[in-house]
Amino acid sequence: MENKKTTLEMIKTVHLAKREIDNVLSKGMNKEVSVPQAHVISFVFDRSKADDVFQKDIEEAFELHRSSVSLMISNMEKNGLIKREPVKEDARLRKIVLTEKALQQQAETERLIAKANEKILENITVEEEAALIHILKKIQRNLK
């Protein structure tokens, strides 16, 4: 019975946290950028500091199907948020690069996500947050 309770609490928490983040983003963002696109911009921004980012990286990070990511990337390219640039080592590969428009949106996205995180983690100590992250990562490994 406890396992069932735990699962239900996880589902409710994930749903509420996602709703809070999406709500804060949708209210504060430029209407040209969807909430999922804002998450992708944030991911590409962070990941590209260390390495090139490809469509496959987005698929893996967000656990999305290739076709869904392909459509989103195409729309983002049409809206001037990203460019796909060839890689010198392999002409078949196209790395994803943020445009100036996306970089401007990124700063606002970071501010809004920080605002949502404040509410989500209100009354949670640093130690509790660290423990939560540790447990969530264990659950993620179990599910993969």
- Residues 19-68 have pLDDT tens digits of 888 888 888 777 778 888 988 999 999 999 999 999 999 999 998 999 99
pLDDT over 90, % of the chain: 54
User: Which tops the pLDDT comparison, 56 or 110?
Assistant: 56
| Tokens at 58, concatenated | 């987005």
pLDDT at 1: 53
Q: Name the residue ranges covered by the structural domains of the chain.
A: 2-143
Domain boundaries 2-143, corresponding CATH code? 1.10.10.10
- The answer to whether residue 134 scores a pLDDT higher than 90 is yes
User: Which tops the pLDDT comparison, 108 or 57?
Assistant: 57
Query: What is the enclosing helix (H) or strand (E) of 27?
Result: helix 2-28
Average pLDDT, the chain: 90
CB count in 10 Å sphere of residue 1 = 5
User: Which tops the pLDDT comparison, 85 or 29?
Assistant: 85
Query: Which of 28-32, 113-117, 128-132 bottoms out in mean pLDDT, i.e. has the lowest?
Result: 28-32
The length of the chain is 144
Q: Are 61 and 72 in contact (CB under 8 A)?
A: no
